[in-house]
């Protein structure tokens, strides 16, 4: 793809936009960066581009800015109905996502992982399996550094976590192995309906061909029906025994294929929960599709400590165990986390509503949750849906939520932060929220 002297606009000067602008400038493109925020708010990003021939259009979103451009690259946080993207479509200006642009300059085989929940754990596991197998591998995308930042390295493989936002503008993005773990309600504050969100996820398979591998969760009907439209070889994961695919058996994860059967013990794994069995099956399927040795797969399963803020054990105090699941930013994630405990649980939830149906949690709430502590912007909305199912209290802050939970917890209880909401009402991101929770727990 020739970029020299092309007139390209990068929309959004967050982490991905910054890396994209740097890459394009180094390639000799005529780069203009647009952001609805002003120069004062973007001072750090502008400093990051100091010395590069980059122009700026800040403080608005004027469709006239699109005139004369060859290409627009939106950051993942920029929705398709943004005035600049709408104007680009009307003028016939090409729009490509950052992962699409990056993939055209990366020769190494890619593993791409998406799903509403579990993709960070699965992506990290696959990366560690490849590294333990002796491959020079990078891990990035939605989980860390943008894919564009790995373009100029010499790699033997890459593992990239991709969100629905990043998949909206892909055309030729073709991972050697693509994994779709699950699709449940999320980001309905961005998409017109659930089906639009599901279609965005399905684009991970769009450019794959017969020489590629698609890993699908056969237990998720919305995912499994996609196999009819996929040209890649399909490998399934799920919890029921099948003649071909992956499933948990008495001796661990079983992988059956036309070449035979193999098993991976879970006796020594450090992560727990039904959702993590799903994640591990996805990782095993992807790693073996790329030829990673069985020993490297097993050793990684046993050594992996889990991710911070994802059902992370914080500590035990007075016989009460505290878990930080701040990364559980949607209803489906909270449901999977609750399914990992027998109860009794004191659940701390709340934040910014993302349009999901909290009623999905009703069964787990009735069976396991002795007290529901709600905080944040969505607390009244969640209370209206679930508050009648168990003892429920609304508080003004996470600090109050932790104190309330500790005051009502008994030995043998679990206190679980699994918000089912995004964090942006009170925190910059889920990581800041999770750290605050851990600090509060340790300070009890």
Active centre residues (catalytic): 119, 142, 187
Strand partners, 140: 160
CA atoms of 109 and 107, how far apart (whole Å): 7
Give CA separation, 310 vs 328, 333, 430, in Å.
Answer: 7, 9, 10
Contacts of range 75-79, beta carbons closer than 8 Å, 24 or more positions apart: 75/10, 75/11, 75/12, 75/13, 75/14, 75/16, 75/17, 75/20, 76/16, 76/142, 76/163, 76/165, 76/166, 77/12, 77/14, 77/165, 78/11, 78/12, 79/190
8 A C-beta contact, residue 28 and residue 3: yes
Tell me how many degrees the CA angle 235-241-247 measures, rounded to the nearest 5.
55
Give the position of tokens 């803020």.
Answer: 309
> What is the C-alpha separation between 95 and 355, in angstroms, rounded?
27
Q: Taking the CB of residue 159, how many other CB atoms lie within 10 A of it?
A: 32
Burial bucket for residue 255 (CB in 10 Å: 0-12, 13-18, 19+): buried
End-to-end CA distance of the chain: 57
Give the CA angle between residues 372, 378, 379 to the nearest 5°: 30
Answer yes or no: are the C-beta atoms of 233 and 210 closer than 8 Å. Answer: yes
Tokens representing 265 are 């013990």
């Amino acid at each position: 793809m020739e970029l020299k002297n092309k007139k390209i606009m990068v929309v959004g000067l967050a982490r991905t936009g910054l890396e994209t602008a740097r890459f394009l400038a180094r390639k000799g493109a005529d780069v203009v960066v647009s952001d609805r925020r002003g120069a004062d708010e973007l001072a750090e990003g502008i400093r990051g581009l100091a010395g590069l021939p980059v122009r700026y259009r800040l403080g608005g979103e004027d469709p006239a800015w699109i005139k004369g451009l060859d290409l627009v690259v939106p950051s993942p946080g920029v929705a398709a109905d943004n005035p600049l993207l709408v104007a680009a479509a009307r003028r016939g200006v090409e729009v490509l996502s950052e992962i699409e642009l990056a993939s055209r300059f990366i020769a190494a085989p890619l593993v791409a992982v998406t799903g509403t929940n579990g993709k960070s754990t699965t992506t990290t596991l696959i990366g560690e399996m490849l590294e333990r197998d002796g491959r020079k591998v990078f891990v990035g995308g939605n989980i860390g550094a943008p894919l564009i930042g790995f373009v100029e390295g010499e790699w033997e493989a890459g593992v990239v976590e991709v969100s629905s936002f990043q998949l909206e503008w892909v055309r030729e993005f073709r991972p050697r192995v693509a994994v779709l773990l699950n699709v449940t309600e999320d980001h309905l504050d961005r998409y017109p309906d659930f089906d639009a969100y599901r279609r965005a996820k399905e684009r991970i398979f769009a450019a794959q061909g017969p020489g590629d591998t698609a890993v699908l969760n056969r237990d998720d009907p919305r995912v499994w029906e996609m196999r009819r439209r996929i040209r890649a070889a399909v490998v399934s994961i799920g919890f029921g025994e099948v003649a071909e695919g992956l499933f948990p058996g008495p001796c661990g994860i079983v992988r059956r294929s036309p070449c035979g059967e193999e098993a991976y013990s879970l006796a020594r794994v450090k992560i727990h929960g039904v959702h993590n069995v799903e994640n591990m099956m996805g990782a095993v399927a992807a790693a073996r599709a790329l030829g990673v040795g069985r020993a490297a797969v097993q050793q990684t399963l046993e050594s992996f400590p889990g991710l911070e803020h994802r059902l992370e054990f914080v500590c035990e105090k007075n016989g009460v165990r505290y878990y930080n699941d701040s990364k559980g930013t949607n209803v489906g994630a909270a449901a999977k986390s609750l399914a990992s405990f027998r109860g009794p649980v004191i659940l701390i939830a709340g934040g910014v509503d993302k349009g999901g149906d909290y009623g999905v949690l009703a069964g787990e709430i009735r069976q396991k949750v002795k007290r529901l502590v709600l905080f944040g912007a969505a607390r009244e909305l969640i209370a209206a849906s679930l508050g009648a199912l168990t003892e429920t209290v609304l508080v003004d802050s996470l600090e109050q939520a932790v104190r309330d939970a500790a005051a009502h917890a008994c030995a043998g209880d679990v206190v679980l932060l699994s918000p089912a909401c995004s964090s942006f009402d009170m925190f910059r991101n889920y990581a800041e929220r999770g750290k605050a929770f851990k600090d509060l727990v340790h300070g009890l």
